[in-house]
Amino acid sequence: MALVLQKTSNRNLVLSANAQAAYGGVLADANLTQRQRFDASSVFQVKPSSRNDKNMAGKGTEFATDDQITAWDTDGTIKSEADVFLMGWALALLFGQDAASGAGPYTHNFSMLESTPTMPCTTVYVEETNDQKRKFQDMSAKTLSLDIAERGSVMLSLDMIGTGRWTEGPMLAALPALPNPNAYFLNSDIVVTITPASGVATPFSGRQKSISIKVDRGTVPFQSSGDGLYAASNSNGDAKFSVDLTIAANSVDDVNQWFEQGIRCSITIGTVGANALRFSFTWPSVRFKANKVGNTNGVVTWALSFDETTAIQSGAQAAISAVVINNTPIYLVPA
């Protein structure tokens, strides 16, 4: 048989706005409707755990003489420029609930699902080569990272965890059409707005440099005896998040004063309101955890940071929430 090498550009990834109706199931091809562009470093994998008798005596050799698979695990990472569907999809799986409204574009309000530790799950279809095509089912969000520079597209990375289940074989129908043209969130449209307590909202366009947002749900497979080789579900831990901002210093101090005086601030990071399709994160009450003076291209900058230990819930407003406005009617409908 002739050797036919496989081009990376021929790999495919197909997602669904739906959640699985139950763990152990798998979404039908008809629900896998979003063909996704992705960075070539993105990968989904299966990993076995096993036992053997290498450390046992009585076998006449220092090497193992038998072994046995004891569990299967699945995980994956999607890295991509953040398009309008992918941002909403990642946040829906990460936060766990989507309150959608509107008639198109649709507004998605995401908040942390705290009534249960069980995370929603979905199915991801992956084509690695001409021959290796499979569905990874029971996949839940674990960690989301967003990196925002001065120009280019917002970069998104989502780590996912599964129960160890996957289904071999191609989609029976042709792959969905690739969205073209596609709509991406651009770094040049992202604005940081900080409102100190008893102060006015200050947008930092013209001063903000790099922005990093990370949200970690601590998701792990929930394993118990009697489950066989696969976990029964995926369970989250206590949510964590961290935000790092680099902002050019002004001749009249503001951000460092807020840090040194421990002034609580409301912070929003998101797309400018004039855009029809947009996203934003809101932290209603934050005290900066650290601030460090720096130098960026000969300009004095402040490197500010905060996390879940210095951000608090304000009344009924959650310590962290997110909104996406896009053309997807709703996420996480069970199928």
Convert the pLDDT of each residue in 143-196 to its tens digit.
999 999 999 999 999 999 999 999 999 998 899 999 988 999 999 999 999 999
Question: Is residue 257 scored above 90 in pLDDT?
Answer: yes
Report which of 85, 76, 82 is spatially closest to residue 121, judged by C-alpha positions.
76
Predicted TM-score (pTM) of the model is 0.95
* pLDDT bucket at 215, cuts 50 / 70 / 90: very high
* Strand locations in 53-132 (E): 67-81, 98-101, 106-110, 122-127
Cβ pair 220, 234 in contact under 8 A: yes
* pLDDT bucket at 258, cuts 50 / 70 / 90: very high
SS3 category, 9: helix
* pLDDT bucket at 127, cuts 50 / 70 / 90: very high
Cβ pair 63, 303 in contact under 8 A: no
Task: Give residues with Cβ within 8 angstroms of 164, minimum separation 6.
Answer: 46, 71, 72, 73, 74, 138, 221, 229, 230, 231
Cβ pair 124, 13 in contact under 8 A: yes
State how far the Cα of 145 lies from the Cα of 114, in Å rounded to an integer.
21
CA distances to 107, 185, 250, 334 from 331, rounded to whole Å, are 11, 19, 42, 9
Question: Is residue 38 scored above 80 in pLDDT?
Answer: yes
- Cross-strand bridge partners of residue 79: 157
Alpha helices in 116-228 (DSSP H): none
Question: Is residue 273 scored above 90 in pLDDT?
Answer: no
Task: Give residues with Cβ within 8 angstroms of 28, minimum separation 6.
Answer: 335
Backbone angles phi, psi at 178, to 5 degrees: -75, 130
The predicted structure's pLDDT at residue 316: 87
State how far the Cα of 187 lies from the Cα of 255, in Å rounded to an integer.
22
The predicted structure's pLDDT at residue 141: 98
The amino acid occupying position 77 is T
The predicted structure's pLDDT at residue 333: 98
Question: Is residue 1 scored above 80 in pLDDT?
Answer: no
